Amino acid sequence: MKQKRKYIQSTKRTICAHADLFNTAFELFLRGKENKRGSIHLFRASNVFTAFALEAFLNHAGEEVFSKKWTELERSTPLGKLIILCEKLDIKIDWGESPWSTAKTIFKMRNACAHGRDQTKKERKIITTIDKWYLLEGQWEKLSTEGNVERIQKDITKIMEMIWKKLGKNEGILFDIGPQVTWRGEI
């Protein structure tokens, strides 16, 4: 009887968290576009993952720019990290303009989701037609539309690309999920 061959395999992969999280956000966005029923939940999740992706990217870039000092700076808020990194890289932030206002908004939404609390919303208005499906929305629900998610992803991509360019990186690999090297040999 022939004996099965045995192999040894050695694999190493650098997992790029920001790319993986951004790809998750994009896939959730696509699913929301495809299926309108329940899409608000997919769009909300997409926004949260976009915020996660930006923070992971800031950690990635921060380690590269500040090296060991980033361990201390990493405890800053996500917006604080963005400010610190942009100051160091000489990138001007204008919080009143896109894409910077979007970063502020998306981190605020992320925090509201992560530290969720009940809210009471009130509205009083004169209406001419009755919409039995009308729902008074909170801020994160207002952001959870196809158009808003698309705009948010474009704006966050712009920020990441600005920083990536200042780091002297190849544009084509910003959202690469990470290189992997595998070696196999028969034993």
Question: Domains along the chain?
Answer: 14-117+135-177 (1.20.120)
Give dist(CA 59, CA 53) in Å, integer: 10
- Residue 136 predicted with pLDDT over 70: no
Q: Would you state the pLDDT for residue 91?
A: 97
Q: Judge whether residue 138 has pLDDT over 90.
A: no
Please compute the mean of the pLDDT values over residues 8-30 and round it to a whole number: 91
Output the pLDDT for position 51: 98
Please report how many Cα atoms fall inside a 13 Å half-sphere around the Cα of residue 138, on the Cβ side. 12
Q: Quick one: pLDDT band at residue 58, thresholds 50, 70, 90? A: very high
Which token pair is 18?
Answer: 């920001």
Residue 140 has pLDDT above 90, yes or no: no
- Pairwise pLDDT comparison (185 vs 133), residue with the higher score: 185
**Stronger pLDDT, 7 or 53, i.e. the higher one:** 53
Contact by Cβ (8 Å): 60, 19: no
CA torsion, ordered 65, 109, 23, 82, to nearest 10 deg: -10
21-35, 52-66, 91-105, 111-125, range with the lowest pLDDT: 111-125
Single-letter amino acid code for the residue at 171: E
- Spatial CA neighbour of 42 closest among 116, 141, 161: 141
Taking residues 100-123, report their average pLDDT: 89
How far, in Å, CA of 25 to CA of 83, rounded?
A: 23
Q: In degrees, to the nearest 5, what angle opens at C-alpha 147 toward C-alphas 103 and 157?
A: 40
Average pLDDT over all residues of the chain: 89
pLDDT of residue 90: 96
Please, is 89 exposed, middle or buried when counting C-beta atoms within 10 Å of its C-beta (0-12, 13-18, 19+)? middle
For 176-183, what is the mean pLDDT?
76
> To 10 degrees, the CA torsion angle through 107, 109, 111, 114?
-130
Q: 3-class DSSP state for residue 99? A: coil
Cis preceding linkage at 179, omega within 30 = no
pLDDT in tens, 60-109: 999 999 988 998 898 999 999 999 999 999 999 999 999 999 999 999 99
Residue 122 pLDDT exceeds 90: no
Joined together, the tokens standing for residue 38 give 């329940």
